[in-house]
Protein backbone atom coordinates (compact mmCIF):
# COMPACT_ATOMS: atom_id res chain seq x y z
CA UNK A 1 0.00 0.00 0.00
CA UNK A 2 1.38 3.41 -0.99
CA UNK A 3 1.99 6.01 1.70
CA UNK A 4 0.41 9.41 1.13
CA UNK A 5 1.16 12.90 2.42
CA UNK A 6 -1.43 15.70 2.35
CA UNK A 7 -0.30 18.58 0.15
CA UNK A 8 -3.48 20.64 -0.28
CA UNK A 9 -6.55 20.35 1.96
CA UNK A 10 -10.12 20.30 0.68
CA UNK A 11 -10.70 23.73 2.26
CA UNK A 12 -7.75 25.21 0.35
CA UNK A 13 -9.00 23.60 -2.85
CA UNK A 14 -12.48 25.07 -2.29
CA UNK A 15 -11.10 28.57 -1.85
CA UNK A 16 -8.94 28.29 -4.95
CA UNK A 17 -11.74 26.88 -7.10
CA UNK A 18 -13.97 29.78 -5.99
CA UNK A 19 -11.24 32.25 -6.99
CA UNK A 20 -10.75 30.64 -10.40
CA UNK A 21 -14.51 30.58 -11.02
CA UNK A 22 -14.71 34.33 -10.29
CA UNK A 23 -11.93 35.08 -12.78
CA UNK A 24 -13.47 32.87 -15.46
CA UNK A 25 -16.88 34.44 -14.89
CA UNK A 26 -15.61 37.94 -15.52
CA UNK A 27 -13.71 36.87 -18.63
CA UNK A 28 -16.50 34.78 -20.19
CA UNK A 29 -19.67 36.62 -19.18
CA UNK A 30 -22.04 36.71 -22.18
CA UNK A 31 -19.85 34.42 -24.31
CA UNK A 32 -21.41 30.99 -23.69
CA UNK A 33 -18.01 29.24 -23.53
CA UNK A 34 -17.48 25.49 -23.88
CA UNK A 35 -15.58 24.02 -20.96
CA UNK A 36 -13.74 20.93 -22.16
CA UNK A 37 -12.66 18.65 -19.35
CA UNK A 38 -9.66 16.42 -20.01
CA UNK A 39 -10.59 12.89 -18.93
CA UNK A 40 -10.28 11.36 -16.67
CA UNK A 41 -8.33 13.40 -14.14
CA UNK A 42 -10.17 16.73 -14.51
CA UNK A 43 -13.72 15.51 -13.86
CA UNK A 44 -13.88 16.48 -10.17
CA UNK A 45 -12.25 19.89 -10.73
CA UNK A 46 -14.57 20.63 -13.66
CA UNK A 47 -17.66 19.62 -11.68
CA UNK A 48 -16.71 21.89 -8.77
CA UNK A 49 -15.72 24.80 -11.02
CA UNK A 50 -18.89 24.98 -13.13
CA UNK A 51 -21.16 24.83 -10.09
CA UNK A 52 -19.64 28.10 -8.94
CA UNK A 53 -20.36 29.80 -12.25
CA UNK A 54 -23.91 31.12 -12.56
CA UNK A 55 -23.82 31.97 -16.25
CA UNK A 56 -24.54 30.19 -19.55
CA UNK A 57 -21.82 27.72 -20.45
CA UNK A 58 -21.54 24.28 -22.01
CA UNK A 59 -19.55 21.23 -20.96
CA UNK A 60 -17.87 18.57 -23.03
CA UNK A 61 -14.91 16.25 -22.67
CA UNK A 62 -11.83 15.07 -24.48
CA UNK A 63 -10.15 11.88 -23.44
CA UNK A 64 -6.45 11.58 -24.04
CA UNK A 65 -4.05 9.01 -22.75
CA UNK A 66 -0.35 9.42 -22.15
CA UNK A 67 0.58 7.71 -18.92
CA UNK A 68 -0.97 4.26 -19.13
CA UNK A 69 -0.66 2.89 -15.64
CA UNK A 70 2.88 4.06 -14.94
CA UNK A 71 4.15 7.23 -13.27
CA UNK A 72 6.09 8.50 -16.29
CA UNK A 73 4.55 9.90 -19.46
CA UNK A 74 5.29 7.85 -22.55
CA UNK A 75 5.38 11.11 -24.53
CA UNK A 76 2.91 9.57 -26.95
CA UNK A 77 -0.43 11.35 -26.68
CA UNK A 78 -3.49 9.62 -28.10
CA UNK A 79 -6.97 11.14 -28.41
CA UNK A 80 -9.20 8.29 -27.24
CA UNK A 81 -12.52 10.15 -27.38
CA UNK A 82 -13.30 13.51 -29.00
CA UNK A 83 -15.80 16.16 -27.87
CA UNK A 84 -19.19 15.77 -29.54
CA UNK A 85 -19.78 19.56 -29.61
CA UNK A 86 -19.18 21.42 -32.88
CA UNK A 87 -16.31 23.64 -31.73
CA UNK A 88 -16.06 25.84 -34.81
CA UNK A 89 -16.19 29.51 -33.78
CA UNK A 90 -16.54 28.68 -30.07
CA UNK A 91 -14.72 30.08 -27.05
CA UNK A 92 -13.10 27.00 -25.54
CA UNK A 93 -11.68 26.65 -22.05
CA UNK A 94 -9.65 23.48 -21.55
CA UNK A 95 -9.95 22.23 -17.99
CA UNK A 96 -7.04 20.01 -16.95
CA UNK A 97 -5.89 18.52 -13.66
CA UNK A 98 -2.10 18.84 -14.00
CA UNK A 99 0.20 20.65 -16.40
CA UNK A 100 3.37 18.58 -16.26
CA UNK A 101 5.68 18.20 -19.28
CA UNK A 102 3.09 20.07 -21.34
CA UNK A 103 3.01 17.43 -24.07
CA UNK A 104 -0.68 16.56 -23.57
CA UNK A 105 -1.92 20.15 -23.43
CA UNK A 106 0.14 21.11 -26.47
CA UNK A 107 -1.53 18.31 -28.39
CA UNK A 108 -4.97 19.28 -27.09
CA UNK A 109 -4.52 22.97 -27.98
CA UNK A 110 -3.44 21.97 -31.49
CA UNK A 111 -6.49 19.72 -31.73
CA UNK A 112 -8.78 22.63 -30.76
CA UNK A 113 -7.15 24.98 -33.26
CA UNK A 114 -7.63 22.33 -35.93
CA UNK A 115 -11.37 22.42 -35.16
CA UNK A 116 -11.51 26.15 -35.94
CA UNK A 117 -12.28 27.46 -32.45
CA UNK A 118 -12.63 31.21 -31.95
CA UNK A 119 -10.42 31.17 -28.87
CA UNK A 120 -8.80 28.60 -26.62
CA UNK A 121 -7.53 29.07 -23.09
CA UNK A 122 -6.16 26.65 -20.52
CA UNK A 123 -7.22 26.34 -16.90
CA UNK A 124 -5.26 23.87 -14.73
CA UNK A 125 -5.60 23.03 -11.09
CA UNK A 126 -1.94 22.11 -10.63
CA UNK A 127 1.21 23.26 -12.42
CA UNK A 128 4.55 21.42 -12.15
CA UNK A 129 6.59 24.10 -13.88
CA UNK A 130 10.01 22.56 -13.41
CA UNK A 131 8.93 19.50 -15.40
CA UNK A 132 8.05 21.35 -18.61
CA UNK A 133 9.44 19.93 -21.87
CA UNK A 134 7.52 22.08 -24.35
CA UNK A 135 6.80 25.80 -24.37
CA UNK A 136 3.27 26.07 -22.99
CA UNK A 137 1.69 28.00 -20.12
CA UNK A 138 -1.77 27.86 -18.61
CA UNK A 139 -3.93 31.02 -18.57
CA UNK A 140 -5.41 30.08 -15.18
CA UNK A 141 -3.45 28.12 -12.56
CA UNK A 142 -4.73 26.91 -9.21
CA UNK A 143 -1.52 25.89 -7.46
CA UNK A 144 2.11 25.67 -8.56
CA UNK A 145 3.50 22.51 -7.01
CA UNK A 146 6.89 20.82 -6.74
CA UNK A 147 7.86 17.75 -8.74
CA UNK A 148 5.98 15.15 -6.70
CA UNK A 149 3.58 12.45 -7.85
CA UNK A 150 0.05 13.60 -6.97
CA UNK A 151 -3.21 11.77 -6.33
CA UNK A 152 -6.71 12.67 -5.15
CA UNK A 153 -9.44 15.11 -6.23
CA UNK A 154 -9.94 13.14 -9.45
CA UNK A 155 -6.26 12.37 -10.02
CA UNK A 156 -5.09 8.76 -9.95
CA UNK A 157 -2.15 6.46 -9.60
CA UNK A 158 -2.92 3.33 -11.65
CA UNK A 159 -6.65 4.25 -11.38
CA UNK A 160 -6.59 4.45 -7.58
CA UNK A 161 -7.18 7.41 -5.23
CA UNK A 162 -9.42 9.53 -7.52
CA UNK A 163 -12.01 9.64 -4.73
CA UNK A 164 -9.83 11.32 -2.10
CA UNK A 165 -11.04 14.81 -1.21
CA UNK A 166 -7.71 16.55 -0.81
CA UNK A 167 -4.60 16.56 -2.96
CA UNK A 168 -1.93 14.13 -1.79
CA UNK A 169 1.65 13.27 -2.76
CA UNK A 170 2.91 9.71 -2.92
CA UNK A 171 5.83 9.23 -0.56
CA UNK A 172 8.79 7.76 -2.39
P1 LIG B 1 1.94 16.17 -19.48
O2 LIG B 1 1.57 15.80 -20.88
O3 LIG B 1 3.28 15.60 -19.11
O4 LIG B 1 1.83 17.62 -19.16
O5 LIG B 1 0.99 15.32 -18.56
C6 LIG B 1 -0.16 15.77 -18.07
C7 LIG B 1 -0.99 14.60 -17.63
O8 LIG B 1 -0.22 13.63 -16.94
C9 LIG B 1 -2.02 15.07 -16.63
O10 LIG B 1 -3.22 15.30 -17.29
C11 LIG B 1 -2.13 13.92 -15.70
O12 LIG B 1 -3.15 13.06 -16.15
C13 LIG B 1 -0.85 13.18 -15.79
N14 LIG B 1 -0.01 13.50 -14.63
C15 LIG B 1 1.02 14.36 -14.55
N16 LIG B 1 1.53 14.41 -13.32
C17 LIG B 1 0.78 13.56 -12.58
C18 LIG B 1 0.78 13.21 -11.19
O19 LIG B 1 1.58 13.69 -10.37
N20 LIG B 1 -0.17 12.32 -10.80
C21 LIG B 1 -1.08 11.77 -11.66
N22 LIG B 1 -1.12 12.09 -12.96
C23 LIG B 1 -0.20 12.97 -13.41
MG1 LIG C 1 -4.81 13.87 -17.36
- Ligand 1 atom at minimum distance from 40 CA: 12
* Distance between Cα 56 and ligand 2 center (Å): 26
Looking at residue 2, its pLDDT comes to: 81
Cα gap 120→96, rounded to integer Å: 13
Asked, as a colleague might, if the bond just before 53 is cis with ω within 30 of 0, I would say: no
Q: Pick from 100, 110, 108, 109: which is nearest to 133 by CA? A: 100
Q: Which ligand is nearest to the CA of 132?
A: 1
In sequence order, the β-bridge partners of residue 79 are: 64
Reduced to 3 states (helix: H, G, I; strand: E, B; else coil), residue 15 is: helix
Looking at residue 77, its pLDDT comes to: 84
Phi-psi domain of 26 (left: phi exceeds 0; alpha: psi -120 through 50; beta: other)? alpha
Cα separation of the two ends of the chain: 12
Looking at residue 72, its pLDDT comes to: 65
Reduced to 3 states (helix: H, G, I; strand: E, B; else coil), residue 24 is: helix
Rounded to two decimals, the pTM is 0.95
Half-sphere exposure of 132 (CA within 13 A, CB side): 15
Query: Could you tell me if the CB of 102 is within 6 A of ligand 1?
Result: yes
Task: Give tens-digit pLDDT for 83-121.
Answer: 999 999 999 999 999 999 999 999 999 999 999 999 999
Cα gap 155→139, rounded to integer Å: 21
Cα gap 60→26, rounded to integer Å: 21
Is residue 100 annotated as part of the catalytic site, yes or no?
Answer: yes
Query: Could you tell me if the CB of 48 is within 6 A of ligand 1?
Result: no
Q: Which of 70, 100, 172 to mutate to test the pocket of ligand 1 (most atoms within 8 A of CB)?
A: 100
Looking at residue 78, its pLDDT comes to: 84
Neighbours of 169 (CB within 10 A): 18
Segments of the chain with pLDDT less than 70: 67-75
Q: Which of 66, 102, 162 to mutate to test the pocket of ligand 1 (most atoms within 8 A of CB)?
A: 66
Looking at residue 134, its pLDDT comes to: 95
Amino acid sequence: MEELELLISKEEINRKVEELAEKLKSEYKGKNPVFIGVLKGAFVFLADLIRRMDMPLEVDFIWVSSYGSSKESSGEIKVIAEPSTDLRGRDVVIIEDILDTGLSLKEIVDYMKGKGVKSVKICVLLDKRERRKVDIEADYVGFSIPDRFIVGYGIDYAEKFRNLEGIWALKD
